[in-house]
Each structure stands twice: as structure tokens, then as C-alpha cells.
Amino acid sequence: HSVDALAFEPELLLLSFHGMPERTLHLGDPYHCHCQKTARLLGAKLNRPGLRLRTTFQSRFGRAKWLEPATDTTLEEEAQAGTKRIAIAAPGFSADCLETLEELAMEGKEQFLAAGGEHFAALSCLNTSPAGLDMLETILRRELSGWI
């Protein structure tokens, strides 16, 4: 799925990145900043003025405080606040996996609809399109040149 191929017009595009303990941010890891920059650049490239974008973090576990806002609670909060149509993407994942297919596409949809949302779509990762695969191949060939 891509935003343009959806059967509905989303009000919000939720960009869900894999979470990390908040401690890593305070220790100087640039991951959080990279996620925010990626979201900003994606928003500019999409050029959809009526579409809100939010950056969230998923896959929390353990007792540590994790980067926020959390994807699962954001889905519920958005629905409870009146957002009816959401699309969610995981720009930090190059290929669909358990965390995109189950945690976002299945559990996320269930949470959003149960909280009052009406339309939910999980956008596919790069591995589902020829253009995405071509891009990954180009990067891999460039980065591995001389190694293989």
C-alpha cells in the first residue's frame, strides 16, 4: 500500500519508528534526531498540505523509559480525540516483519478501531515494491563493492 493507493483519504500519517530506551538519547545517540529528520523530509516530499504527520516509537519492553510518544497509546489517543482515518508507516524498516505486520498492521488497527477510529491502513515497507527493491540493491552494491 501507498498513501495514493488507499481507498480513503487519511487525516493523519503516523510514522512509527522502532523505539529505544530514552537513556540512549541522553547519552548522545543521534537515532531520535534521525527519526525526526526522516519524518520531516518525508512530509516535505509527500507534499500533502491537509495530511497531518506524527512521529511515534514502537516495540517497548522492559522497565526502562522508552522514547515517546509510543505508537500504541498514540493510536488510541488519536481515535479518542476524533481522528477517524489513519495511515501508518514504518520508515525505519526496510522490510516488513513481525513488528510491522503484527504490531502495527494487526494490533495497531485493532487498537485504533476499538478506540473509535473508522479507517486504518498500514503502508508496506520497501520490500514490497520493485522501486524499493531496486533502491536497496543499488545501496547494497555500492556499499559492498570490493567486498563481494
- The per-residue pLDDT for range 57-111, each reduced to its tens digit, is 999 888 999 999 999 999 999 999 999 999 999 999 999 999 999 999 999 999 9
- Residue 110 · residue 147 · CB < 8 Å: no
Query: What DSSP string describes the chain?
Result: --GGG-SS--SEEEEEEE--BHHHHHTT-SHHHHHHHHHHHHHHHH--TT-EEEEEEE---SSS-B-SSBHHHHHHHHHHTT--EEEEE-TT-SS--HIIIIIIIIIIHHHHHHTT--EEEEPP-GGGSHHHHHHHHHHHHHHHTTT-
Is 147 a residue whose pLDDT tops 90? no
pLDDT at 2: 85
Is 45 a residue whose pLDDT tops 90? yes
> What is the strand order of the sheet 52-58 is part of?
52-58, 12-18, 85-89, 119-122
pLDDT at 100: 95
Using CA atoms, how far residue 117 sits from 28, 36, 59, 71, 123, in Å, is: 37, 25, 22, 15, 17
Pairing of strands 85-89, 119-122: parallel
State the average pLDDT over residues 112-132.
95
State the average pLDDT over residues 42-70.
94
pLDDT at 146: 82
Phi, psi angle pair for 42, to nearest 5° = -60, -45
Question: All domains of the chain, ordered by start, with CATH?
Answer: 3-144 (3.40.50.1400)
Q: Distance (Å, rounded) from C-alpha 111 to C-alpha 109?
A: 5
